[in-house]
Amino acid sequence: MVTSVLPTAIKPRSPKGGFANEPFTDFKNPDNARRMQAALNLVAAELGREYDLIIGGHRLRTEGKIRSLNPARPAQIVGIHQKAGAEHAGQAMQAALEAFESWSRTSVETRVSLLLNVGEILRQRKFEFCAWLTYEVGKNWAEADADVAETIDFCEFYAREALRLAQSQTPIQLPGERNELLYIPLGVGAVIPPWNFPLAIMAGMTLASIVTGNTVILKPSSDSPTIAAKFVEVLEEAGMPGGVVNFCPGSGATFGNAIVEHPKTRFVAFTGSKAVGLEIHERAAKTQPGQIWIKRTVLEMGGKDSILVCADADLDAAVEGVVAAAFGFNGQKCSACSRAIIEAPIYDVFVERLRERVAKLAVGDPAENKNMGPVINKAAMDSILGYIETGKKEGRLIAGGHAIENANGGYLIEPTVIADIAPNAVIAQEEIFGPVLAVIKVADFDEGMQVANNTEYGLTGAIYTADRERLNHARREFHVGNLYLNRKCTGAMVGAHPFGGFNMSGTDSKGGGPDYLLLFTQAKSVAEKL
Is residue 398 a part of any domain in this protein? Answer: yes
Other C-beta atoms closer than 10 Å to the C-beta of 391 total: 25
Tell me what the mean pLDDT of segment 347-362 comes to.
98
Cβ neighbours, 10 Å, residue 174: 11
Q: Does 379 share its domain with 481?
A: yes
Once rounded to an integer, what is the mean pLDDT over residues 334-359? Answer: 98
What's at 482, amino acid-wise? N
Is residue 36 situated within a structural domain? yes
Assess whether pLDDT exceeds 90 at residue 1. Answer: no
Q: Are residues 464 and 385 in the same domain?
A: yes
Taking the CA atoms of 383, 387, 392 and 398 in sequence, report the sign of the dihedral they define.
negative
When mean pLDDT is compared across 10-19, 243-252, 285-294, 309-318, the lowest value belongs to 10-19
- Is residue 380 predicted with pLDDT exceeding 70? yes
pLDDT tops 90 at residue 525: yes
Mean of pLDDT values over 194-210 = 98
- How many structural domains are present in the chain? 2
Tell me the mean pLDDT in the region 97-122: 97
Same domain, 54 and 78: yes
* Rounded distance between C-alpha atoms, residue 140 and residue 131, angstroms: 9
Read off the pLDDT of residues 467-517 as tens digits, 9 standing for 90 and up.
999 999 999 999 999 999 999 999 999 999 999 999 999 999 999 999 999
Give the phi and the psi of residue 521 in degrees, each rounded to 5: -135, 170
Going from the C-alpha of 406 to that of each of 287, 363, 384, 440, the distances in angstroms are: 50, 11, 18, 32
pLDDT score at 250: 97
Please tell me whether residues 317 and 296 are part of one structural domain. no
Give the model's pLDDT for residue 9: 63
Q: Phi/psi of residue 460, each to 5°?
A: -125, 165
State the catalytic residue, choosing from 22, 161, 261, 300: 300
What local confidence, expressed as pLDDT, does residue 13 receive? 81
3-state DSSP helix/strand/coil percent for the chain, to nearest 5? 40, 20, 35
* Euclidean distance between CA atoms 249 and 53, whole angstroms: 7
303-326 per-position pLDDT tens digit: 999 999 999 999 999 999 999 999
CA distance 171 to 271: 34
Is 300 noted as a catalytic residue in this protein?
Answer: yes
The stretch 160-182 carries a mean pLDDT of: 97
Cβ atoms 354, 319 nearer than 8 A: yes
Residue 11: pLDDT band (50, 70, 90) is confident
pLDDT band of 7, cuts 50, 70, 90: very low
Q: Once rounded to an integer, what is the mean pLDDT over residues 219-244?
A: 98
- Tell me: do 122 and 227 sit in the same domain: yes
Q: What is the pLDDT of residue 4?
A: 43
* Structural Rg of the chain based on CA atoms: 23
One domain for residues 251 and 355: no
Tell whether 67 and 202 lie within a shared domain: yes
The pTM for the full model equals 0.97
Residue 413 per-residue DSSP state: B
Active site annotation includes 334: yes
List all residues 6 or more positions away from 215 whose beta carbon is below 8 Å from its beta carbon.
96, 97, 99, 100, 103, 104, 187, 188, 189, 209, 243, 244, 245, 246
Residue 10 has pLDDT above 80, yes or no: no
Catalytic residue among 334, 337, 343, 431: 334
488: domain CATH number? Answer: 3.40.309.10
Angle, vertex CA 154, rays to CA 148 and CA 155, nearest 5: 95
Alpha helices (H) in 5-140, listed in sequence order:
30-44, 86-103, 108-124, 126-137
293 pLDDT above the threshold of 50: yes
- CATH of residue 224's domain is 3.40.605.10
- Cα–chain-centroid distance for residue 483? 18
Mean pLDDT of 178-182: 97
Are 215 and 154 within one domain? yes
Percent of the chain topping pLDDT 90: 97
Which whole number is the average pLDDT over 32-57? 98
pLDDT band at 168 (very low <50, low <70, confident <90, very high): very high
pLDDT of residue 5 exceeding 90, the answer is no
Same domain, 218 and 363: no
Any domain includes 439: yes
Instruction: Identify whether residues 426 and 397 lie together within a single domain.
Output: yes
Q: Tell me if 503 is assigned to some domain.
A: no
Q: Are strands 502-503 and 457-458 parallel, antiparallel or unpaired?
A: antiparallel
In a domain, 12, yes or no: no
Does 518 lie in the same domain as 370? no
Give pLDDT, residue 16. 87
State the pLDDT at residue 3.
45
Would you say residue 112 lies in a domain? yes
Residue-wise pLDDT for 335-344, tens only, equals: 999 999 999 9
Range of the domain at 206: 27-301+509-529
140 and 181: one domain?
yes
